[in-house]
């Protein structure tokens, strides 16, 4: 668990070292205005069952950017990002369905994006 100051949660339940580092980076990033771990009840229905992304992140700025992020560590390092082909096939498919879901949602809200990342800086690069 991590004590979150820029989050709506006093303590953030974390599932992995990757999530811990992501939350820590959100806390120290000057670009992140607000973030929170998505609750288990936030689910995207897919043919493979429900999918629960990890984070919602809001960046500072005149035009706010909202990210829903799935954090994964496939050992590629920040220069390459997440190697999705290294994930389990069922996980790859759920991520593909989530992308389609958020592509549709972007037609109504262009400031919303879905990303599979390891670190906050990968989201910052998409601003």
Query: In sequence order, which residues have a C-beta less than 8 Å from that of residue 83 and are 6 or more positions away?
Result: 74, 75, 76
Q: Residue 15: how many CB atoms within 10 A of its CB? A: 10
Q: How many domains does the chain have?
A: 1
> Could you read off the pLDDT tens digit of each residue along the chain, which spans 127 residues?
455 566 666 677 788 888 889 989 998 999 999 888 888 898 988 888 898 999 999 988 866 767 888 888 777 655 556 788 888 898 889 889 999 998 998 898 888 888 888 889 888 887 7
Residue-range definition of the domain harbouring residue 99: 2-124
Phi, psi angles (nearest 5°) of residue 17? -65, -35
Chain-centroid distance, C-alpha 5: 18
pTM: 0.79
């Amino acid at each position: 668990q991590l004590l979150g100051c820029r989050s709506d949660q006093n303590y953030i339940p974390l599932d992995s070292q990757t999530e811990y580092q992501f939350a820590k980076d959100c806390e120290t990033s000057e670009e992140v205005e607000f973030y929170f771990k998505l609750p288990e009840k936030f689910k995207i229905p897919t043919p493979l069952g429900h999918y629960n992304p990890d984070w919602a992140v809001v960046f500072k700025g005149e035009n706010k950017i909202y990210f829903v992020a799935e954090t994964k560590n496939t050992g590629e390092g920040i220069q390459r990002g997440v190697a999705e082909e290294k994930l389990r096939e069922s996980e790859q498919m759920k991520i593909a369905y989530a992308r389609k879901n958020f592509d549709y949602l972007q037609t109504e809200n262009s400031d919303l994006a879905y990303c599979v990342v390891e670190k906050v800086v990968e989201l910052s690069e998409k601003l």
